[in-house]
Amino acid sequence: MLPRLAIVAFLIGLPIVCATGQRPQPAGDLLAGDVSRLVLENVTVARAQYRGRDAVRVVVQRNAAGSPETMAVIPDVEFSDGVIEVEIAGVPAAGADTSARGFVGIAFRVDSSRTHYAAFYLRPTNGRARDQLRRNHSTQYIAHPEFPWNRLRQEQPGVYESYVDLEPGAWTPIRIEVHGGTAQLFVNRSAQPVLIVNDMKNPPASGRIALWIDAGTDAHFSRLRVTPATGRPER
């Protein structure tokens, strides 16, 4: 028989949490601390006020053009499976060439060399482009070092990228759910994923989480929260 408190919780729609199977709780905002603790790979970071909130601004170092990895690694969290939630904003940087799209996203399962990882990212200027093919390239999954975007697009066109409505420079909430060899990307609090990857290219492993950008990008990040999985991620 359920205890009285559990019955009351059930009747009013509250989650039931038992001592032997507690629901995992998300960590606090992982960007709230000192940004000097971030481990930088060919980027610079700074505190900034952006569109009404405190944020972390990330830009590529001027002398890092063409560098394969451009990210700021969060040293506090070891992540394998679970849920990552963050709000991001990206625009092409001043002076960037015409191929810049405002590339901004999150890398996860980042290894100690910061060369092996998976990532989901957005191309904000593609979301409302007048060209349909560009729109279809609004979101992207990658798995470095062996599966960058261009290899995935060439070998399996349309499988690892998709369309979603995006406004360049606007705060855009994203949610990444990871379990074993599968991952899903949710954008703008959508109930359904906008991109599903059922065959992640790197073997499942534990690693860090990073604020990821690409060349020619001026990006801001805010409200990063992580919920580790116990089994499949909670939704």
Helix (H, G, I), strand (E, B) or coil at 37: helix
Number of helices (H), then strands (E), in the chain: 3, 14
Residue 15 lies in a domain: no
pTM to 2 decimal places:
0.86
Residue span of the structural domain in which 207 resides: 26-228
57 in any annotated domain:
yes
Beta strands of the chain (E only): which ranges?
39-41, 43-50, 53-60, 71-79, 82-92, 104-110, 117-122, 139-144, 161-162, 172-179, 182-187, 195-197, 207-213, 217-228
CATH of the domain at 87: 2.60.120.560
Residues 6+ away with beta carbon under 8 Å from 66: 215
Whether residue 62 lies inside any domain: the answer is yes
User: Does residue 20 belong to any structural domain of this protein?
Assistant: no
- Domain membership of residue 129 (yes or no) is yes
Q: pLDDT of 168-226, one tens digit each?
A: 999 999 999 999 999 999 999 999 999 999 999 998 899 999 999 999 999 999 999 99
pLDDT digits 0-9 by tens, 107-158 = 999 999 999 999 999 999 999 999 999 999 999 999 999 999 999 999 999 9
Token digits for 34? 């000192």
Q: Is residue 118 part of a domain?
A: yes
Rg (CA), the chain: 18
Question: Is the residue at 189 inside a domain?
Answer: yes
Backbone angles phi, psi at 48, to 5 degrees: -155, 155
Distance CA 181, CA 88 (A): 25
For the chain, what is the domain count? 1
